[in-house]
Amino acid sequence: MASSFYSNSQHVDFESVLSMDDQGMVSMFKALMASGLAGFLGCPAVIYEDALVDFFENASIRDGVIFSTVAGQLVKISEEWFAESFELPVDGLGDLSKIPKDAIFDARSFVSLSGEPVSLSGGKNQMKFEFHLLCDIMAKAISVKAGSFSAITVEKFSLITAVVCSIRMDWAKFLFSILKRMVTPGSKQAKGFAIQISLLLANIPSLELGESSEFPASKILTKKTVHRFISLNDKAGAE
């Protein structure tokens, strides 16, 4: 079922979260917007489940372009079209390993709840609440990794560093490489980007997509759902 493509996903209603009265959260979301990810994380939240199933079942890669057959029609997604559709930056670092080590060191203290540099082999409870949430966004909506979301990994922390330290990233290259891994047979990359792929398919003329459905409200970060996240973390901290 297509729901498996977004069971661990996370989406952002930027207009809603930026109206919060929590300065830490607002600053974090502003940093996400400044990074160039707003168009990707905040695009219209509509799902075409039948089309998504077709897309993943029939997808392949030729010469760096993703081809698939959806409702009997050939579709292709290039990195250039992908970048234009979500207004993604196309220059900067395309490899997380190139992020300066001093930036990662600075970020370890900046996001820390205690003021001591967070351990990259520890849990995200070392971080301020807004960076708990940023860690979830990076794991679920960007890197699309299955498994536990409570642990910090080098990859997740590198993504956090890119945002909080304003590292210029070629997000188009980085995200498109993840999408290519999603459609590569035998890849361990989990499938995701359900909203984004649905939007791309919806922009293909004359393509029959079937019925649409709304993305689950519980997976969209709004003023209400973020306040619920804060309350749950406050309760957990008290306990």
* Per-residue model confidence (pLDDT) at position 146: 63
Q: What is the mean pLDDT of the chain?
A: 90
- Residue 218 covered by a domain: yes
Contact 84, 76 (CB under 8 A): no
196 has pLDDT over 50:
yes
Q: Show the domain range for 84.
A: 2-234
Counted domains in the chain: 1
- Residue 202 covered by a domain: yes
- Residue 215 covered by a domain: yes
- Residue 239 covered by a domain: no
* Per-residue model confidence (pLDDT) at position 238: 43
- pLDDT band for position 239 (50/70/90)? very low
86 has pLDDT over 80:
yes
| pLDDT tens per residue, range 4-50 | 777 778 899 999 999 999 999 999 999 999 999 999 999 988 999 99
| pLDDT tens per residue, range 100-149 | 999 999 999 999 999 899 998 888 889 999 998 999 999 999 999 766 56
